[in-house]
Amino acid sequence: MTSVSISDDLKASVPQLMLSCIECDVVVMENNETLWEQIDEKLAEIAGSIQMDDISRLPALAASRKGYRQCGKDPSRYRLSAEALLRRTVQGKGLYRVNNVVDLLNLVSLSTGFSIGGYDAEKIEGGVVFGIGRQNEPYEGIGRGELNIELLPVFRDRKGAFGTPTSDSVRTSVTSGTTRFLMIIIDFGTQELLEQATFIATELLRKYARAENLEILKVDGKS
């Protein structure tokens, strides 16, 4: 299991922070129609029950937006990935199809409101530390190009920043060659919802990505 910890500066800024880290062997496939049937059902459910103004008040998202402000970042300018997914859904734009592993991660995020990092574990070098982005720190977000991560919560390994709750990076992205997957569910303060999100994620990984050798690590701001 990849070592994951929270930096002292992020602990001080967001003491209620908790992470649920799931690492497992996976089989990456370009598409899974059964998974997409489940995703389409969730999209229809959300579109029929949530208005745009409701999104930021969902418990996991409200806590996440508060966490961004505690770090000094404007959550309306640098949207959390879960909020971006939900806004697309309510607007009727649907989701991009990437691969079964990324698609099921997005389903977990839509179902729970948590922003979730998904990484090729074999592209991570050394232990992972969740900290706060620095000025001019280099970062290439997936589909976003160079991203200003100053004051964003940021995952780093030996080579530098590779993940944020706004956008994961190209460097550790999940591709057709990925065989070991690390998912990190980021809870900025709901706590009681994190266990359910972890259960949903592990079930979907087993069902749609043939997950094996699954390990779970819980990390909080008090440890």
The tokens 């574990």 sit on which residue? 121
Average pLDDT over residues 93-120: 95
Per-residue pLDDT at 20: 97
11-47: pLDDT as tens digits: 999 999 999 999 999 999 998 999 999 999 999 999 9
Counted residue by residue, the chain has a size of 223
Can you tell me the distance from the alpha carbon of 97 to that of 184, in angstroms, rounded to the nearest whole number? 20
What are the residue boundaries of the structural domains of the chain, listed by start?
A: 4-220
137-179: pLDDT as tens digits: 999 988 878 889 999 999 999 999 999 999 999 999 999 999 9
**Half-sphere exposure for 110 (CA within 13 Å, toward CB):** 26
The tokens 């640098």 sit on which residue? 78
Per-residue pLDDT at 223: 60
Per-residue pLDDT at 145: 80
Query: Which residues 6+ apart lie within 8 Å of 94 measured at CB?
Result: 43, 88
Can you tell me the distance from the alpha carbon of 165 to that of 23, in angstroms, rounded to the nearest whole number? 18
The region of weakest confidence among 22-31, 61-70, 150-159, 191-200 is 191-200
Q: Contacts by 69-73 with C-beta closer than 8 Å and gap 24+?
A: 70/13, 70/14, 71/10, 71/13, 71/14, 71/132, 71/151, 71/152, 71/153, 72/13, 72/151, 73/151, 73/152
| The one-letter amino acid at 217 | L
| The one-letter amino acid at 6 | I
Res 214 pLDDT > 80: yes
Mean pLDDT computed over every residue of the chain: 95
Per-residue pLDDT at 221: 73
Can you tell me the distance from the alpha carbon of 201 to that of 197, in angstroms, rounded to the nearest whole number? 6
Query: Quick check: helix, strand or coil at residue 32?
Result: coil
Question: What CATH number labels 4-220?
Answer: 3.50.40.10
